[in-house]
Structure 1
Amino acid sequence: MNMNSKSYVKVVQNGLQAVEAVGELRASGYLTEQIFVLAHNQDQTERIAETANADEIGIKEEGIFDAIANLFRSRGDELRAKIVSLGFTEMEAAFYEKELDHGKVLVIARQLP
């Protein structure tokens, strides 16, 4: 678990735990547009986000240029770029991307500016 000035992240073991973590964040006052889920597999990310009523990291968070660049990046590079777009450092992004490589799921809550 990490908190920086912009985002909070919780690493969970699976989609069920991610749904529970999203529910806890929502109960503590976060809005749907502030809660993101991220798994190594894009299909899994989409399924968890839909089930948990959370967002996926997209153009709004990344910016148009990073979103386009992600079309040409490896999945690992894309995941790190998405994590950095929410305010984490490159080093933190590398750590969390390794967690995703091991099948874990990230639940990220971002404070609105």
Structure 2
Amino acid sequence: MSIESTKSYAKVVQNGVQAVETIRELGATGYLAENIYVLAHDQDRTDRIIDAADAQEVGIKEEGIFHSLANLFRSRGDELRSKIVSLGFTETEAEFYEKELDLGKVLVIAVRK
């Protein structure tokens, strides 16, 4: 499933290879690398994909200091939903995407700024 709006685009992919391909496609269509984010349920997997594709991790800049600090005390699922919402998606969308991440999939998000 992917959602497109005037601001954000999200795509769930099966693995890191597909995530890297999607990130490259988004770059070719005009999204800037600093506006493309990757999320996986496993933080190490997220980091590996980010390194391989020159994408970004959702951080303080996107979430704000309060939510970033709160994530230190949240479960990984709560943290992921918070990050997805911080990129412009609704709670319902965040819940859907987090469930996909639970299944081992990877989420690529691109934001137009």
Place the TM-score, normalised by the shorter chain, in its bin. Answer: over 0.9
Indicate if the aligned counterparts of 1:6 and 1:86 stay in contact, CA closer than 8 A. no
Taking the aligned partners of 2:19 and 2:112, their CA distance within structure 1 comes to 19
Taking the aligned partners of 2:41 and 2:103, their CA distance within structure 1 comes to 9
Taking the aligned partners of 1:76 and 1:108, their CA distance within structure 2 comes to 17
How far 1:3 moved relative to its partner?
Answer: 1.3
RMSD: 0.6
Please name the residue that 1:6 is paired with. 7
Q: How does 1:1-113 map to 2 (within 5 A)?
A: 1-112=2-113
How far 1:5 moved relative to its partner?
Answer: 3.5
How far 1:92 moved relative to its partner?
Answer: 0.2
Taking the aligned partners of 1:104 and 1:49, their CA distance within structure 2 comes to 15
Taking the aligned partners of 2:44 and 2:11, their CA distance within structure 1 comes to 20
Q: What's the TM-score, normalizing by structure 2? A: 0.97
Amino acid at match of 2:37: F
Taking the aligned partners of 2:4 and 2:43, their CA distance within structure 1 comes to 24
Taking the aligned partners of 1:62 and 1:107, their CA distance within structure 2 comes to 17
Taking the aligned partners of 1:66 and 1:4, their CA distance within structure 2 comes to 24
Structure 2 unmatched runs, 5+: none
How far 1:111 moved relative to its partner?
Answer: 0.8
